[in-house]
A and B are shown apart, each in its own frame.
Chain A
Amino acid sequence: MKNPLQKRLLRELRDEAGKYIVIFVLLAATIGFVSGFLVADGSMRITYDESFERYNIEDGYFDVAKELTAGEKEALEKSDINVYDGCFVEEALQNGSTLRIFPNREEVDKVCLMEGEFPEKAGEIAIDRMYAENNGIDVGDTIKSEGKSWTVTGYVALSDYSCLFSNNNDTMFDAVKFGVAIVTKEEFDSYSRKALNYRYAWTYNAKPENEQEENDRAEDLMKAMGKVITLETFVPKYQNQAITFTGDDMGSDKAMITVLLYMVIGILAFVFGITISNTITKEANTIGTLRASGYTRGELVRHYISMPLFVTLIGALTGNILGYTVMKNIVSEMYYGSYSLTKFVTIWSGEAFIKTTVVPFLMMLLINLAVLNDKLKLSPLKFIRRDLSRRRQKHAIRLGVKIPFFTRFRLRIIFQNMSNYVILLIGIIFANLLLLFGLALPVVLDHYQAEIENNMLSKYQYMLSVPVRVMSDDSKIRSMISMLEFSAATETDNESAEKFTAYSLNTTDDICDSEEILLYGIGKDSSYIPLDFSDGQIYISSGYADKYDLKAGDTITLKEKYEEDTYDFKISGIYDYMGALSVFMSQEQLNETFDLAQDYFSGYFSDTELTDINDKYIGSVVDKDALTKVSRQLDVSMGSMMYLVDGFAMLIFMVVIYLLSKIIIEKNAQSISMTKILGYENSEISRLYILSTSFMVVIFLLFGMVIDYGLLTVIYREMMRSMLSGWIAFYTDWTVFVRMFLLGIVTYAAVAVLEMRKIRRVPMDEALKNAE
């Protein structure tokens, strides 16, 4: 015969609908979001990985000063590669952004149409979807440069620009001020040859089998090309940030999102545990009678655990349905908000199912099983006598009679509900951590922008682009001539300009992936970097010191990016510069260390624009815009997500407070009823039972802020270390904490109103009903 106790479940579900609905909503929302994230992330990852073959993404590109001849192309292809035309023009649009325009590609780096149509005639253009969204350009709009205008026929994703890096040397992309587009061949041919940038892509006929082989082949290829043509730049695919950045970033949030889910499930499991514990106390007589009549502990455990498991299962299933439908789209929108990805196809994820359904179910099962086994261990007699405490409390905590009576009453409520308040504290800390993150990130980015503007090395840093032929030419004489040409063409008459040498090395640190550190060789008596280098001192930027926990006296080891050579530098001091991870030493020392000519330089610091240097030798200009790209891009890609985080944090906060305060009131229903009988007014009872929780909420909010601040500085550090090359220091101001506190109080106030209603509804016969 079926256990008749199970018939209670439906009734319990109906009687406690409010409680189960909020738990269900939180479970379904969290699982839905995480499931959506894992599904979208997994599907995107597969789409991204497959895009290399589907869209025939290049194995690298190179720039030359003039168009390749058929003979040169043929000679290059003897190195077992195919060479494709990848020429482009760049147009400065009237909205202040730059658009890189290509003719539509059919062989390599093929284009994915995201919306609308491909351009079919002159005057039509299809632009990158993300760039269009960031600049509010719709299909059908007209975009204009100084001399031209185009009608936007559609949105596209260029497979070799999943991340919109305009320059491969940039530390971050800027999808607001830079975009890519395609036009018809006819339109493209209307540009003069002078306007063209001669870029060519290559693919290997036989693909390299691993990274090492790819690296070796690229090095050999660069040398082979140097014999045929004069290379301006040479970027193999694995170095091309526009292609690889997205893949490197994908999945980096997976662990954090999964931990978020497990924390929510853990909190809810304990809330269920407390609810069950409360129900067992309430039903002690019945449990004792059932046990005395022959019901086993297992049967009762199974009965009481059914509802949490049922709600979890329904929540998980609903969450998964939401995940595969609505949430997947929200998360993919977040990806599409950061990257120019091609269209993706949803792929069923076993990992997502295990993480969002199996693990939460098991967590709920194990935590509640532990609570139930512990609670139901007592003998039937103890249940019948309602004597459920393992250890008889010898003395109540003494509270002096001078403490006002209401205060003592509230303190007793707090002592009585300590386990509830512990879970409440964990819930508040967790919710506030999310809220602090959501509120602090925009402040961090604003502060970074302001800091950068006030603390630049110089208004402009011109990074000169040393032609590849200087490095790759086998003929030393030709290489020297190239060097002389370069030196002559990069001299300036600008009086504010000051030469420096820049050299890139990579970290060897285990904490993060190897990342680029820019070493500056500073000229004597520099007005831009006023440091003392007289005794060979070496300084690092404060950004570098902050990110890697470095201080004066430490030794750093850096290495060549694709070689094994390492260099040790002892830090003499920290230079206040958060804009980049940099090392500063004298120009003489740097040139000597890297075997460069004594008078070698590779850039200028300047407070005014340099106008007398040939553009082709300017690799990049580091100005305010360039330095704040990181924060701008983070703002664009994560800004909207922060509202979601804030909302989710408040939902968790509200649900946890609602459930736990509900339990406190239910647990004390008889006492509340009795005080009503005695003549206490509802307002007085609310002051007793709600103010005690209010007091704890305020304490926890304040205490939680301290804990959360500490936690977030650690989490932020790890997060930024793993997701960002460069460094944005954590910063927050008092307004964040005030907003956090006020949001907490407002959310709690909403719950307190529900609590008051609940207290009003406790009937006076409750005290009589349960008196037996």
Chain B
Amino acid sequence: MFLEINNIKKSFGEAENQIEVLKGIDLSIEKGEFCVLLGPSGSGKSTLLNIIGGIDNSDEGYISIDGEKTGDMTEKKLTLYRRKHLGYIFQMYNLIPNLTIRENIEVGAYLSDCPLDIEEMMHTLGIYEHQHKLPNQLSGGQQQRTAIGRALVKNPDILLCDEPTGALDYNTSKEILTLIETVNDKYGNTIVMVTHNDAIKYMADQVVHLKDGVVRKRYRNEKKVPAQELDW
């Protein structure tokens, strides 16, 4: 198994204010698989994604990627782990505002020994003509494409997407989802996507429903629906 999530527990706060957000999550994801984490607000899906991404620690349990456990890693190793294996896409894009579109993608490229071709990536993402603009000169969809470019350009093993369409309109959301689908097909990256949008589950290989910090339902789609055909 490529990505193994084993008995992950996580609490926030102290004493009587303590809230257990993850109550022992077990999950395994195959290499190249597209996994969607669904659930209402407060279900713990973003927290789980952050723990997978090494930007938060679990209280118990471990994450293993290709046999490497993240819990045993030092701060430096964890940085290298993110650098080597992960790409991140956020709901609010989190682009660096004073860098151009091209430079934002280069931020990702710098981290890889053999990054993908930036020009080709911008063409694929449809942002080539905007490469010299700053993020605030672009629409939300274009900014999210840039964020995808930044995440993908280093050709990561795992692409973590936290509500990537949460701030976008219907059409743009579909465009972005199609893009992610294409990337998954073309580059074979493992994708873990957190979303509120129930319709997205149809395009995933594996669907995990979280509620109150536990996995309520988990299944694989026999037949995936292309992103373009999704409706909500």
Write the residues of chain A forming the contact surface with B, with a CB cutoff of 8 angstroms: 387, 389, 392-396, 398, 401, 405-406, 408-409, 412-413, 415-416, 668, 670-671, 674-681, 764-765, 767-768, 771-772
| Per-position binary interface string of chain B over residues 82-126, scored 1 when its CB falls under 8 Å from any chain A CB and 0 otherwise | 111010101110101111101100111111000000000000000
Can you list 20 pairs linking A and B with CB atoms under 8 Å apart? A392-B137, A393-B134, A394-B137, A396-B134, A405-B106, A409-B107, A416-B97, A675-B96, A678-B83, A678-B88, A678-B108, A679-B82, A679-B84, A679-B86, A680-B83, A681-B79, A764-B55, A764-B56, A765-B55, A765-B56
What range describes how many residues of B lie at the interface?
A: 35 or more
A387, closest chain B residue (CB): B136
Which of B76, B79, B86, B134 is in CB contact (< 8 Å) with A676?
Answer: B79
Chain A residue numbers with a CB within 8 Å of B53 are 677
Q: Is the CB of B111 within 8 A of A768?
A: no
B27 at interface by CB-CB < 8 Å: no
CB closest residue in chain A, given B160: A677
Which 8 A-B pairs give the minimum distances between C-beta atoms?
A: A679-B83, A771-B92, A416-B98, A679-B82, A764-B55, A671-B96, A412-B98, A396-B134
Residues in B with CB closer than 8 Å to A764 are 55-56
Is B76's CB under 8 angstroms from A409's CB?
no
Partner of B111, one of A395, A679, A765, A767: A679
For A393, A398, A677, the residue with the greatest tally of chain B CB atoms inside 10 Å of its CB is A677
Query: Which residues of B have CB within 8 Å of A671?
Result: 96-98
A408 near B103: Cβ-Cβ < 8 Å: yes
**Residues of chain B whose beta carbon lies under 8 Å from any beta carbon of chain A:** 50, 53, 55-56, 76, 79-84, 86, 88, 90-92, 94, 96-100, 102-103, 106-111, 132-134, 136-137, 150
A768-B90 in contact (CB<8A):
yes
B151 CB, min distance to chain A CBs, angstroms = 8
Shortest distance between the CB of B175 and any CB in chain A (Å) = 21
Do residues A680 and B90 form an inter-chain contact, with CB atoms below 8 A?
Answer: no
Extra pairs beyond A679-B80, A679-B81, A679-B86 (19, CB < 8 Å):
A389-B136, A393-B137, A395-B133, A396-B100, A398-B132, A408-B103, A409-B107, A670-B94, A671-B97, A676-B79, A677-B82, A678-B83, A679-B79, A679-B84, A680-B79, A680-B83, A680-B111, A764-B56, A768-B55
Selected contact of B94 from candidates A394, A416, A767, CB within 8 Å: A767
Cα A749 to Cα B56 with chains together (Å): 32
A723 to B204, alpha carbons, bound, how many Å?
Answer: 85
Contacts of A413 in B (CB 8 A): 98
Neighbouring A residues of B79 by C-beta, 8 Å? 676, 679-681
Contacts of B56 in A (CB 8 A): 764-765
Which of chain A's residues have a CB closer than 8 A to the CB of B106? 405
Question: Which residue of chain B has its CB nearest to the CB of A673?
Answer: B94
Do residues B137 and A401 form an inter-chain contact, with CB atoms below 8 A? no
Q: Which residues of B contact A396 (CB under 8 A)?
A: 100, 132-134
| Complex CA distance for A680 and B82, rounded to whole angstroms | 9
Docked CA distance A522–B136 (Å): 80
Cross-chain contact A771 with B134 (CB below 8 angstroms): no
Q: Which residues of B contact A412 (CB under 8 A)?
A: 98-99, 103
CA distance A401 to B109 in the complex (A): 13
Report the Cα distance A398→B133, complex, angstroms. 9
A389 vs B134: C-alpha distance in the bound complex, in angstroms? 13
Give complex CA distance A395, B109 in Å: 23
Cβ-defined partner of B50 (8 Å) among A387, A401, A670, A768? A768
